[in-house]
Amino acid sequence: MRIGIIGAMDEEIALYMEAMEQTTKTVKAGITYYAGVMEGKEVVLCKSGVGKVNAAVTTQILIDTFQVERVIFTGVAGAVHPDLNIGDIVVSTDCIQHDIDVSPLGFAPGQIPFTEQWIWSADQDLIQQAIDAGKELDAGIQVVSGRILSGDQFVASREKVQWLHEQFQAHCTEMEGASVGQVCAMNGVPFVVVRSMSDKADGSAHVNFAEFTKLASERSYAIVRNMLKATSQDAGVIVYSTKNCVDCNLVKEWLKAKGISFEVRDVMTSRAYQEEVERFGFMGVPVTVVGDKAVKGYAPSELEELVGSK
């Protein structure tokens, strides 16, 4: 499984850059994408830049060009819920663009006119993984799930914070997550947004933001790192493949039809993955692995026996 990880600023992706291995760099639409391995998982890391348009373009390229199967947006936000403190973590249940306002035509604030959907729900499994990952953080850090708002504005008014909380029942506000959620929903790709509070979005941001952005970024990074660790430990079926391999896609579709979760390892991105395939005595792909057993090629009867041994 290939996972896209997005941050909006350098501070939000710096720790991932240090942790990734076997990294290759690609530039598209002025955005630099780093494909590599982190905690045994294939990841593609990028800095979107600030704002909803940047985040939307970045997400679509992750899906189209890098074929990511999950998207995690990570970084900092301003707390809107009164119970949140600087450094606390919010995991998105859903996301709304708070700066869309066509209320003079009878639409609710945040509602996208003439469309059925304007609330973008995060993936339940990813939400739970993030919440579980937060249990490993230091005591005293709240890790909660809740609504995340996005808008192309830096909120620094107590009155605006109160309105956002009351109008949307939101936990925090930032400038990218809802656009990532919308693009993922339009493409059928699961997503989650993980935000650490860098300020209280209440007029004190000029004091808090620079000071606490580094700390907040470290905490959101810790959540995502723990998510990747847990996913690697839970992976039962691994499919070694390449990007344009027809039989590889047939294996993946067969597993999906059976409702079987699996991890994809692209052997063209990692010499270590090639060596793992060679240890089973194979030189090509696809190779589907469960424990110490493997099946070469697309062979449904052999795959049935393999996954039945899990």
| Domain ranges (residues) in the chain | 2-233, 238-308
Mean pLDDT calculated for residue range 90-116:
93
| Nearest alpha-carbon partner for 286 in 246, 256, 232 | 246
- CB atoms closer than 10 angstroms to residue 135: 8
Amino acid 72: pLDDT: 96
CATH topology of domain 238-308: Glutaredoxin (3.40.30)
Q: How far is CA 226 from CA 76, 107, 179, in A?
A: 18, 40, 25
Amino acid 199: pLDDT: 75
Lowest mean pLDDT among 204-218, 252-266, 275-289: 204-218
Active-site choice (42, 88, 199, 266): 199
Say if residues 101 and 113 touch (Cβ distance below 8 Å): no
The verdict on whether omega for the bond into residue 113 sits within 30 degrees of 0, i.e. cis, is no
Distance CA 100, CA 116 (A): 15
Lowest mean pLDDT among 26-30, 39-43, 114-118: 39-43
Q: What is the pLDDT of residues 167-203, one digit of tens each?
A: 999 999 999 999 999 999 999 899 999 998 887 766 6
Residue 123 is classified by DSSP as P
- 162 in helix, strand or coil? helix
Reply yes or no on whether 12 is catalytic: yes
Of 192 and 38, the structure prediction assigns the larger pLDDT to 192
| Nearest alpha-carbon partner for 223 in 95, 73, 82 | 73
Residue 94 is classified by DSSP as E
Extended beta strands in the chain, E state: 2-7, 21-28, 31-38, 41-47, 70-79, 89-97, 120-121, 143-150, 170-174, 191-199, 238-241, 263-266, 287-290, 293-296
Amino acid 246: pLDDT: 95
Say if residues 307 and 256 touch (Cβ distance below 8 Å): no
Amino acid 234: pLDDT: 53
| Nearest alpha-carbon partner for 127 in 149, 144, 140, 139 | 144
The number of CA neighbours under 13 Å toward the Cβ of 195 is: 35
Mean pLDDT calculated for residue range 67-90:
90
Amino acid 203: pLDDT: 60
Lowest mean pLDDT among 142-146, 208-212, 286-290: 208-212
Amino acid 209: pLDDT: 61
Q: Which residue has tokens 């493949």?
A: 241
Amino acid 80: pLDDT: 93
Amino acid 30: pLDDT: 95
Amino acid 272: pLDDT: 76
Measured at the CA of 187, the angle between CA 8 and CA 74, to 5 degrees, comes to: 25
* Architecture of the CATH domain 2-233: 3-Layer(aba) Sandwich (3.40)
Distance CA 181, CA 175 (A): 12
Bridge partners for 173 per DSSP: 78, 149
Say if residues 212 and 87 touch (Cβ distance below 8 Å): yes
Residue 278 is classified by DSSP as H
| Nearest alpha-carbon partner for 185 in 22, 46, 12, 60 | 60
Query: Sign of the C-alpha dihedral, residues 299, 190, 48, 100?
Result: positive
Amino acid 90: pLDDT: 95
Reply yes or no on whether 136 is catalytic: no
Say if residues 127 and 145 touch (Cβ distance below 8 Å): yes
What's the one-letter identity of residue 178?
A
